Amino acid sequence: MLTIETEKGFPVRTARSTVISMRLPAESGKRLKRMAVRHGWTASDASARLVEEGLRRSEFAFIDFRGSAAGRQAYVQGSSLAVWEVMLLVRNYKRDSQAVARHLGWPLAKVQAALNYAEAFPAEIDDALAENEKTDFAALKRMLPLATEFSARKRVKR
């Protein structure tokens, strides 16, 4: 991900970049521009993001990228869980990745893939975890109008 900070309300790119030109088939160029418009990006930003995501996919097993209410995020392939959600479980299980794998019914390799990705991109994962901690039910209800609040009851052993 390209890190962008604001300075006096204007975005400032903090990462160094390099210019690489490439040829795309005309239809791919049209699709890229549509994607950029849909997300409010420039075609250049969209192509840079897609290249970065493709590089990360090739470097990290079981990692994919999807759009979400919070923007594009790293997910564990074949699941509905973002990497940060797996890391939340890892924290709750005191870093016992085997226990997390059992909890999810996954092979250990998928949990390890999330750990590897989180280790390589700690700021991305920490930001997502911090955002999750700030989200209360009222904020969740604004995003998901049909959400209902419930609390788990302790089972009484008979």
Query: In this model, does residue 13 exceed pLDDT 80?
Result: no
64-144 maps to CATH 2.40.30 = no
- For position 158, what pLDDT does the model report? 66
pLDDT digits (tens, 9 = 90+) for 75-120: 999 999 999 999 999 999 999 999 999 999 999 999 999 999 999 9
Give the model's pLDDT for residue 2: 43
Q: What is the structure's pLDDT at 135?
A: 84
Does residue 58 surpass a pLDDT of 90? Answer: yes
What are 133's two structure tokens? 């901690």
Residue 14 has pLDDT above 70, yes or no: no
Q: Name the band, by pLDDT with cuts 50, 70 and 90, for residue 34.
A: very high
- pLDDT over 90 percentage in the chain: 64
Residue 15 — very low, low, confident or very high, per pLDDT cuts 50/70/90?
low
- Residue-averaged pLDDT of the chain: 87
Rounded to whole angstroms, how far apart are CA atoms 57 and 84?
Answer: 16
